[in-house]
Chains A and B, each alone.
Chain A
Amino acid sequence: MELSRRTFLKGTLAGGAGISLLGFDLTPVYAQTQSLKISRATETRSTCPYCAVSCGVIIYTLGDKAKNAIPQVVHVEGDPDHPINRGTLCPKGSSLEQDILNDRRLLKPQVRRPGGTDWEDISWEQAYTEIAQKVKKTRDDTFLEKDASGKTVNRCEGVAWTGGCTDTNEFNYLAVKTMRSLGVCYLENQARV
Chain B
Amino acid sequence: MTDRKTLQTEKISGHSGPSPGLGMQRDFEVCKLVDTTTCIGCKACEVACVEWNDMPFGMTTFDNTYQTMPETRWNFWNLIKFNEHQREDGTIQWLMRKDQCMHCADPGCMAACPADGAIVKYTNGIVDFNQENCIGCEFCVSGCPFNIPRFNPGTKKVYKCTLCSDRVGEGLEPACIKACPTGCLKFGSKDDMKFIANERARQLKENFGMENAGVYDPQSVGGTHVIYVLHDATDPERYGGLPKNPTIPWSYTVWKWLFKPVLGAFALFGGLGVLMHYVSVGPRRPQPEPPEKEAANGNGD
Q: Give the B-binding residues of A (Cβ under 8 A).
A: 1-6, 9, 12-13, 16-17, 19-20, 23-25, 28-37, 39, 75-78, 80, 85, 87-91, 93-95, 97-98
Contacts and interface: CB of A to CB of B under 8 A. Distances in A.
A95 B14 CA distance: 38
A35 B169 CA distance: 9
Nearest to B12: A30
A19 B118 CA distance: 11
Contact of A29 (B42, B130, B180, B181): B130
A61 B4 CA distance: 26
A36 B172 contact: yes
Given A12-B132, A20-B115, A89-B181, 13 more contacts: A2-B3, A3-B20, A16-B133, A23-B114, A23-B115, A23-B265, A24-B261, A24-B264, A25-B15, A30-B117, A89-B44, A94-B179, A98-B51
A180 to B, nearest CB: 39
A6 B132 contact: no
Interface of B: 3-4, 6-9, 12, 14-16, 19-21, 24-25, 42-44, 46-48, 51-52, 54, 114-118, 120, 122, 128, 130-135, 162, 165-167, 169-170, 172, 175, 178-181, 183, 261, 264-265, 267-268
B7, B47, B135, B265 pick with most chain A CB within 10 angstroms: B47
A4 B135 contact: no
Contacts of B167: 36
A32 B128 contact: yes
A87 B42 CA distance: 16
B21 A91 contact: no
A41 to B, nearest CB: 13
Contacts of B134: 20
Given A31-B120, A75-B51, A20 B135 contact: yes
A34 to B, nearest CB: 5
Contacts of B19: 30
B20 A30 contact: yes
B120 to A, nearest CB: 5
Contacts, number: 132
A63 to B, nearest CB: 18
B47 A94 contact: yes
Contacts of B6: 4-6, 31, 33
A33 B166 contact: yes
Contacts of A75: 51-52
B113 to A, nearest CB: 11
A78 to B, nearest CB: 6
A13 B51 contact: no
B132 A91 contact: no
17 contacts: A6-B4, A6-B7, A6-B169, A13-B132, A16-B133, A20-B118, A20-B132, A20-B135, A23-B135, A23-B264, A29-B130, A31-B6, A31-B9, A32-B131, A33-B166, A36-B166, A91-B46
Contacts of A76: 51
B47 A36 contact: no
A56 to B, nearest CB: 13
Nearest to A2: B3
A34 B166 contact: yes
Given A6-B169, A94-B179, A30 B9 contact: yes
Given A13-B132, A30-B120, A23 B268 contact: yes
Contacts of A91: 42-44, 46-47
Q: 4 tightest A-B contacts by CB? A: A16-B132, A28-B117, A25-B116, A94-B47
